[in-house]
Structure 1
Amino acid sequence: MESRAVKVITEGALAAGMSVALSFLKVFQMPQGGSITLEMVPILAFAALRGVRAGALCGAASGLLQMMLQGYVVNPLQAVLDYPLAFGILGAAGLKDRGLGLILSMALAGLLRLGCHVLSGVLFFASFAPKGANVWAYSLTYNATFLVPSLAISMALAIPLARRLKNRV
């Protein structure tokens, strides 16, 4: 195996592991799951550094590990939506690696993750919505309550981290 490939795989494994470790440090916990954490920081920074494909694999690995260690699964499709897909899609942060493009790529990645959780909420957790409430609006509001702050904090940390790491690669 080429030494560059080994380096990227090692960095991805470290980023996935750091993401899982950070998922246990919760700033705020929602009643039915979801929390404000820094778990996206390593994945966003790694994706910005190594691109969409490597970032998606790193995120999916992190999601699978989180599902195994602290996951809540009610259905196989829900498991895929809430864990490997939701975290793998953070690889979209690697679409652009500089300036405004980097900021927009990370924001897009976070919004795509939010979309995975909203769809999961509508399909599998609609019973938590108040009677008569629109389940799409409820799921969006519920999930955005923790994901938007998590994304903002994560981007504030991941952008300078990615820039600093880019200068060392």
Structure 2
Amino acid sequence: MKFLSGILENIQGIMSSWTSIATLVGILILYCVFIKVKKINFSSRLISHIALAVAMSVILSFIKLFQLPFGGSANLAAMLPIILISLIYGPIIGIFTGFVYSVLNFVIGPAYILHPIQVLFDYTLPFMAIGLSGFFKKNKFLAIGAGFLGMFIFNYIAGVIFWGSYAADYNMTPLIYSLVYNGSYNLLNCAICMGICSVIDVNRLTKHLVPPRAEKSMNI
């Protein structure tokens, strides 16, 4: 009940910021148009795999090593399911999966809303950036590193612009404060994902999840 009430309170806070909602809807519309242009076939298999990846990421995000006061945490490889989807289906589907996860993460909360652009840089774009790992299918470690680098860049920009005022409390400049704050959990999460992924055969997983006929027909 406490968890449910927390989500309801978070939703009420989000609903009071219509500009943030409009921003998220706008991003979704633009991405849907892009997907339509790419003519990606959302088969029932693909939809179920995206849903499974998002669900697993949500569950893993609750297993935290530590939680920072203004968002961000080290967890049990919550981004790994999205990375695997990106490696299997490509960056476009990976970015879309990251967006779906970002919306759920935003709703579950807690959500810190300062400005619509801040919502994009703190919640939407970082998780979408994880999908960039799909560009590096031949090297899963490079893929993980690229995904987390993209995530860190957006977190870092948000930290400097929107949260930099807290830097003085720690005798730091906003640039250093954001580097330390966002670098701490992103670096640890990246290392955890690499460690777990080292025992996962991505090629074998791809063959198991995607039939050869479907793999050839994917235009991603």
**TM-score, normalization: structure 1?**
0.89
Determine the structure 1 residue equivalent to 2:103.
64
Q: Distance in 1 between matches of 2:135 and 2:63?
A: 28
Equivalent residues of 1:95, 1:102 under 8 A apart: no
- Contact 1:42/1:158, CA 8 A, preserved across alignment: no
Structure possessing the higher radius of gyration over alpha carbons: 2
What does residue 108 of structure 1 align with?
Answer: 146
Contact 2:121 2:158 in 1 (8 A): yes
Structure 2 Cα separation of the partners of residues 25 and 163 of structure 1: 27
Q: CA deviation at 1:4?
A: 7.0
> Equivalents in 2 of 1:127, 1:111: separation in Å?
24
Task: Give the deviation of 1:163 after TM superposition.
Answer: 4.0
Deviation (angstroms), 1:72? 2.1
**8 Å Cα contact 1:19-1:42 kept in structure 2:** yes
Q: Figure out how many residues of one structure are paired with residues of the other and give that number.
A: 166
- Alpha-carbon distance in 1 for matches of 2:41, 2:152: 35
SS in structure 1 of the partner of residue 64 of structure 2: coil
**1:134 paired to 2:197:** no
- Is 1:32 the counterpart of 2:70 in the alignment? yes
User: Residues of 1 paired with 2:83 and 2:134: CA distance?
Assistant: 8
Deviating 4+ runs (over 6 angstroms): none
1:121 aligns with 2:155: no
> What is the deviation of 1:123?
1.1
RMSD between superposed Cα atoms in Å? 1.9
CA–CA distance in structure 1, aligned partners of residues 42 and 174 of structure 2: 47
Cα distance in 1 for residues equivalent to 2:42 and 2:129: 24
Indicate the percent of aligned positions where both proteins have the same amino acid: 31
SS at match of 1:28: strand
